[in-house]
Amino acid sequence: MKLLVIGEVSVVDNRSCNSRNGSFDARMLKYTEFFDSLVYFGPGQEKILELDDSKKLSYCSTAGYNKSIIGRSKLLHSSEVKENLLHIIHEFSPDLIELRVPSIFTLYCYHVVKNLKIPLMCYVAGEWSSSFAANYKFPFSSWLGNRLERTLEPIIKQCITVVTGHVLKNKYSGLADCYPYYSTTHDEVHVPTAARNNTLIYLGRLEKLKRVDLAIHVLKHINDLCHIPFRLKIYGNGPEKKGLVELSAKLGVREYVDFSSYERDRAKLRIELLSAKYLLLLSKSEGTSKVLPEAMAHGVIPVAIRGVGSNDFILNDNNGLLCDSDAHSIAASIMSVESNASCYSNMVSACYKYAKAHTLDNEQIKMWEWVFCKMKELDIHE
């Protein structure tokens, strides 16, 4: 059985199957355990459409698209993406197509493939309405985000749909029976061999939606309260970096904030996680963030916002901190754990318990079993 995945993650190196998102690459590699061959089609710096029949996994890319408003609008006036996608479909002959949304690129591709009589699967990674408005501050951005959200409805109705967590499953329950998938990339747990440092860590894009500025305010509050200061290590790239550096200086905590680019080397990232105590996930719009279980797999306690995405479903067994969305409350929650060694130890143990039960292998086995069952119900050959 052959799977074609269409998404907006940019291809960096076609030959080695690397995108700009290492976690995405890990999930695509795991996908190959359920299919005879897999092709990912997405944007890239150049057009590369060659397929290597000797490999189970191939990355193909089309040029001329980027995530800027202008770059996305150009898609409406270009036939190149359509031509390249149809070429891949003709050469590869997929048995199933996975459409990863929300994404302007994927939305365009959906209209190319929706009438091809090839089974379609939809992977909904989050809400378009809130994420678009948070990242693009211009007049009517909220209205446009809501309009884009409604464009997903026919896709969800037509496709076998997987969503990231129960919140989205409940939201789209009137459209389709959706599978609630909890994303991660870890397949085992890791225990430190040395004492952890007073370190907070953030992993992800530096964009308004993620509210990394709040993490810096949290650090300021914590260091005002404790005798041994904490450090905040920020791993990621994005348009907000300059402002975040300036904010840390303004708040007087610049010496305690370390900025690093996205770390593709998982061994190096593991070292950082094993030395940290708390992971901060302070966005107010998430599907299910894969960094929550990945942090727990390293014994790092996740700190997330209550009522956002699937945070409440994941952190429901003393395996993390659910907080209100203000710096004082978040800092107070962290310090309450810090002041109680038994509480901290029990919470770390609960993190490891969750991580062992929700590995990448376990989560994908359940997801693909559900998808293949749906295909059989629809009389689609597996």
- Model confidence at 382: pLDDT above 50: no
Residues 310, 180 share a domain: no
- CATH code, 77: 3.40.50.2000
Q: What is the predicted pLDDT for the residue at 128?
A: 81
Q: Edge to edge, what strands does the sheet with 199-203 contain?
A: 257-260, 231-235, 199-203, 278-281, 301-305, 321-323
Residue type, 150: R
Specify whether 327 is located in the same domain as 366: no
Triad 66, 70, 73: Cα angle to 5°:
90
246 within some domain: yes
The DSSP output letter for 195 is P
Q: What is the pLDDT of residue 67?
A: 67
Domain assignment present for 273: yes
- Predicted confidence at residue 310, as pLDDT, reads 83
How high is the pLDDT of residue 154? 94
Do residues 14 and 129 share a domain? yes
Tokens representing 360? 């990448």
Distance CA 106, CA 104 (A): 6
The residue range of the domain holding 291 is 199-357
How much is the average pLDDT of 41-59?
93
> Diameter of the chain by CA atoms?
65
Of 125-139, 150-164, 287-301, minimum mean pLDDT range: 125-139
Whether 205 and 328 share a structural domain: yes
Residue 192 forms part of a structural domain: no
Q: Residues 210-260: pLDDT tens digits?
A: 999 999 999 999 999 888 999 999 999 999 999 999 999 999 999 999 999
Q: Which two tokens stand for residue 171?
A: 């939201």
Q: How far is the C-alpha of 63 from the C-alpha of 46, rounded, in Å?
A: 5
Q: Strands 301-305, 278-281: parallel, antiparallel or unpaired by DSSP? A: parallel
Q: Report the length, in residues, of the chain.
A: 382
Q: Which residue type occupies 117?
A: K
Residue 121 shares a structural domain with residue 229? no
* 343 compared with 74, residue with greater pLDDT: 343
Dihedral sign of CA atoms 68, 71, 76, 82 in order: negative
Q: What is the pLDDT of residues 142-201, one digit of tens each?
A: 888 888 889 999 999 999 999 999 889 999 999 999 999 998 999 999 999 999 999 999
The answer to whether residues 334 and 204 belong to one domain is yes
Rounded (5°) CA angle 14-289-323: 155
Query: Residue 269 domain-assigned?
Result: yes
Asked if the structure places residue 220 within a domain, the reply is: yes
CA distance 380 to 93: 15
For residue 305, what pLDDT is reported?
A: 94
Answer yes or no: is 194 within a domain.
no
The tokens describing 377, both together, are: 């119900």
Domain count of the chain?
Answer: 2
State how far the Cα of 232 lies from the Cα of 200, in Å rounded to an integer.
5
Do 235 and 325 share a domain, yes or no? yes
Give the residue from 151, 149, 141 showing the smallest Cα distance to 109. Answer: 151
Quick check: is 191 in a domain?
no
237 and 164 belong to one structural domain: no
Cut 0.75: pTM above it: yes
Residues 18 and 145 in one domain: yes
173, 269: one domain: no
Same domain, 222 and 349: yes
**pLDDT per position as a tens digit, 309-319:** 788 889 989 99
Is 61 within a domain? yes
Do 272 and 139 share a structural domain?
no
| Band (284; pLDDT cuts 50, 70, 90) | confident
Question: What angle separates helix 241-250 from helix 212-225, to the nearest 10 degrees?
Answer: 20
